[in-house]
Amino acid sequence: MLWLALLVAQAGAPADEVARGEKIFAASCAVGYCHGAGGSAGRAPRIQGRSFTPEYLLKVTRDGIPGTAMPAWRGQLSEEELRAVVAYMLSISAHPAALPSGETRQEAAARPMPARVKTGRELFFDAVRGTRCGTCHALENWGVAVGPNLAAVRVRSIEELRRPPARSVKTARLASSEEFPALLVEQKDGWVRVYDLTVAPPVLRTVAANELGWREPARWDHAAFVRSYTDAELQAVLDYLRWLEPR
Ligand code: HEC
């Protein structure tokens, strides 16, 4: 338990341990019946932005939660891997040790919000707009977490907001030859749940695993869904995303 004490004392785990944990989390915890990309919640609970102690996370990850779908990872992950996953979960949870600067989420939230940033936030969740960023991205407990958690990525330009790197969207092909751009949500008992990104808001579909194939690259255009935003508006959204970044 020495490392736990160290983790708490140092207010943060070494960056390479967090990075290793992120990889394990992405492979074992984010997919399937699980916690969502970047811990943003699939069907299992959300991890991101929540408060946990390292002791609790280690226990639950190692031993599982009896009577629930949360499996015990002891035996499947080495002790070192378990620690890395815990370090990663702490880095995205609301534990006071979460932010590299030592700043807590509460402190970050209490920072005064400049007018431009406020405008960006309103644009992100713009209720009047047909399709808004919040249709597919959740931040600050608002919006819908279909796409990636934007608090966990660093965006440098509005061009990246229009055309982000294609990482997770792929082309799903059904036995009927129907094809659509899709995001994998969950795979279980011969069934696969995917978001169909043909339209916004994206539609959650359940298909038989043996009737589904994946093709790369995805024929999907993020820019088409953010078309209603002008460059000036996207600049404000960018300011908002930057403001959310821990400093
Ligand atoms: C119709 C759903 C949808 C809407 C609306 C949408 N996005 Fe996305 N966004 C996605 C998906 C899905 C991805 C992941 C693409 C991939 O990995 O292939 C993504 C990716 C991104 C990324 C890249 C994240 C990374 O991992 O690097 C950024 C940044 C982003 N979106 C910002 C925005 C902003 C800002 C808006 C509003 C102006 C917006 N998105 C509107 C679905 C959407």
Nearest C-alpha neighbor of 149 from the set 91, 225, 203, 192 = 91
At residue 41, the pLDDT reads 66
Specify the pTM: 0.66
Asked if CATH classification 1.10.760.10 holds for the domain at 2-92, the reply, yes or no, is yes
226 in contact with ligand 1, CB cutoff 6 A = yes
Residue 138 Cα, ligand 1 centroid: separation in angstroms?
10
Name, in order, each residue with C-beta under 8 angstroms of 113's C-beta and a sequence gap of 6 or more.
121, 243
161 in contact with ligand 1, CB cutoff 6 A = yes
Residue 134 Cα, ligand 1 centroid: separation in angstroms?
10
55: pLDDT strictly greater than 80: no
- 62-76 pLDDT, tens per residue? 887 766 667 787 888
Query: Domains of the chain: which residue ranges?
Result: 2-92, 112-164+223-244, 170-219
Name which residue sits closest to atom 40 of ligand 1, judged by CA. 133
User: Ligand 1, closest atom to CA 133?
Assistant: 37
CA–CA distance from 44 to each of 69, 164, 185 (Å)?
A: 8, 27, 11
Name which residue sits closest to atom 5 of ligand 1, judged by CA. 133
Radius of gyration of the chain (CA): 19
- 212-247 pLDDT, tens per residue? 999 987 889 999 999 999 999 999 999 999 988 765
More confident residue, 11 or 129: 129
112-164+223-244: CATH topology: Cytochrome Bc1 Complex; Chain D, domain 2 (1.10.760)
pLDDT band at 10 (very low <50, low <70, confident <90, very high): very low
Residue 54 Cα, ligand 1 centroid: separation in angstroms?
31
